[in-house]
Amino acid sequence: MRIDIITVLPQLLESPFSASILKRAQTKGLVEVHLHDLRKYSTNKHAQVDDYQYGGGAGMVMALEPVVAAIEDLQGQRNYDEVIYLTPDGTTLDQRMANRLSVQNNLMLLCGHYKGIDERIREHFITKEISIGDYVLSGGELAAAVLADSIIRLIPGVLNDGTSALTDSFQDDLLAPPVYTRPAEYRGWPVPEILLSGNTPAIEEWRHQKALERTQKRRPDLLKRQSSEEGGKI
Ligand code: 6GU
């Protein structure tokens, strides 16, 4: 997979892709992440990438021409499965969306800034608009990092344990069960005995039960969703 990210703040996105799993995914050749500084596409002598909005009012808009130039430059080099605009008024990211995007080849992400982008770009170039939740961030960069992380970790080979992405919270609309590590007893608090039993089927059943209990208690909405939308996960 290849992910191209268009941003006015490439520095902000460098570190999330330079550490841990996202770094290893790139080193292993499983994903390529390319950051594109929108300023490089500005024809303005001050490399300005914002502009006033028609109709007046506070707040600048991302300048139309550099954004279009960046998108078209990349589209001239390869076909993109999706051109995604990160914006708080987009569709809220969930695991299902991450799953679907993880099987694509080329994704372009455009990080929103200021009051956003000219509506005509949304109408004519953007194929998907994604928000990462109902709160406001200073820009789309951190949202793009979150989206890319949620996608990249699902690419086969990225996680060492091939099954671990499947047992994540949300992967089957269940929260993950509790986990324990050494020592078996700490300050008088024991690890549940079943986990020390070596009885794998019983342990699996216990984990499933705990996942159900936890979901019922914390996110009953997920269980409702499961019963009303059986199947069709991808
Ligand atoms: Cl994608 N952008 C901004 N600026 N704020 C957000 C967001 C995106 N998703 C949630 N809040």
Delimit the domains of the chain by residue range: 2-152, 169-231
Asked if pLDDT for residue 231 goes beyond 90, the answer is no
Distance CA 55, CA 53 (A): 6
Class of domain 169-231: mainly alpha
Residue among 132, 135, 142, 147 whose CB has most ligand 1 atoms within 8 A, to mutate: 132
Question: Average pLDDT for residues 209-215, to the nearest whole number?
Answer: 98
* Surface-to-core class of residue 71, CB atoms within 10 Å of its CB (0-12 exposed, 13-18 middle, 19+ buried): buried
Asked whether 131 lines ligand 1 (CB < 6 A), one says yes
Q: How far is the CA of 6 from the centre of ligand 1 (A)?
A: 15
Residue with tokens 């300048």: 63
Domain 2-152: top CATH class: alpha beta
pLDDT at 167 over 80: no
pLDDT digits (tens, 9 = 90+) for 71-104: 999 999 999 999 999 999 999 999 999 999 999 9
Q: What is the mean pLDDT of residues 25-44?
A: 97
Residue 232 has pLDDT above 90, yes or no: no
Res 230 pLDDT > 60: no
Count CB atoms within 10 A of the CB of residue 167: 14
Residue type, 103: V
Rounded to whole angstroms, the Cα distance separating 28 from 157 reads 9
Q: What span, in angstroms and rounded, lies between the C-alpha atoms of 208 and 202? A: 10
CB atoms under 10 Å from CB of 138, counted, come to: 9
Confidence (pLDDT) at 124: 98
Q: Which one has a higher pLDDT value, 202 or 228?
A: 202
Among the atoms of ligand 1, which is closest to the Cα of residue 93?
9
Strands 82-92 and 106-111: parallel
